Structure 1
């Protein structure tokens, strides 16, 4: 991983100016392969569940809105590469927080697999009923992704629609209130998706 202060400073500047930042080669190809193998194994073992929309009592599964399967990641995962990724995201969260004073206290994250011919319609990550998501992040795990494979992420900005190719090892950061969607995937699409929060996840009694 390019743990470069200049890249983190660029991330802070672009998040403030544009609302998003793309960090290519956040993880090396060898780590991406290990994460994909781990996700595939867990999918085969039945550890992935159909994703839904909404939080808590508003949660529902609607295949017309989203078609991915997810597996939440523990804060202390046993797999060394997953653990390393979690440590790096935590360090990035702390660096951004120290520089921007966003009140970031924790993060949550999961693996996501979009089977062929699935998508996630236009939405925001910051729920009205649970507004603790401040920054969203996606690590793409699509080895040898090519134009035409689909699964791009569309960010809806003030004056444009920005398409992000889901290239292996690429980390995307963006403000959680930005509207976005995952376009139709023409082959299986792998990622780790998460959110930097302004509350401690251990405080489960908070809305």
Structure 2
């Protein structure tokens, strides 16, 4: 299946079931480069403990989530980061043109889950951050095996879908869907982000 066919399928699945799994969104070679960049950032102190809530409601709570994050944008010096951002931009624009979602921008970050960490059931689109429309996760776990954990559970109306965090796999889903990151027994790498119905430069919006 080529990229155009996958794009069309992604559009259909997001409109129907609300999620789509896109294997090999990036190559295994690209995964290795991205993991190397994440490790460099982690060692240099660029990663910060992730919290919950937004602005005045922001708080750190390891009983809810245990990941560390580093935000990514066009100021990043690595070419491969720009290539990934370009892919997401193209995907956002295609979804917007086809599904009329009102998407205007996106935000994204590296996420590292240390061993024995998780992120309890939650939604990405909530009252204090109502601009998230489509969530996406690019998995960067080389040689992931059953028992390593770190799967994402999507809670749909009629079933629970378990998505394995395989290297190069992109998961797209509607941001109002309940989901959680299950216990990760090995260090877990990803790039997580959200397609927004606002311009990120409009920082005065909640």
Normalising by structure 1, what TM-score? 0.98
Give, in whole Å, the separation in 2 of the partners of 1:70 and 1:5: 31
Alignment of 1:8-27 (within 5 A): 8-27=7-26
Describe the superposition over 1:84-128 as per-residue Cα deviations: whole angstroms up to 9, x where unpaired: 000000000000000000000000000000000000000000021
Give 2:54's aligned residue: 55
Give, in whole Å, the separation in 2 of the partners of 1:3 and 1:48: 35
Give, in whole Å, the separation in 2 of the partners of 1:11 and 1:76: 29
1:44 aligns with 2:73: no
CA contact (8 A) 1:22 1:173 kept: yes
Alignment of 1:7-156 (within 5 A): 7-156=6-155
Instruction: Report the RMSD for the aligned CA atoms in angstroms.
Output: 0.9
Give 1:202's aligned residue: 201
Describe the superposition over 1:49-97 as per-residue Cα deviations: whole angstroms up to 9, x where unpaired: 0000000110000000000000000234210111100000000000000
Describe the superposition over 1:173-204 as per-residue Cα deviations: whole angstroms up to 9, x where unpaired: 00000000000000000000000000000000
Gaps of 5+ in 1: none
Aligned length: 206
CA contact (8 A) 1:151 1:186 kept: yes
Give, in whole Å, the separation in 1 of the partners of 2:160 and 2:129: 26
SS of the aligned residue for 1:191 comes to strand
SS of the aligned residue for 2:69 comes to strand
CA contact (8 A) 1:140 1:190 kept: yes
* Superposed structure 1 runs of 4+ greater than 2 Å apart: none
Give, in whole Å, the separation in 2 of the partners of 1:75 and 1:158: 37
CA contact (8 A) 1:54 1:127 kept: no
SS of the aligned residue for 1:61 comes to coil
Normalising by structure 2, what TM-score? 0.98
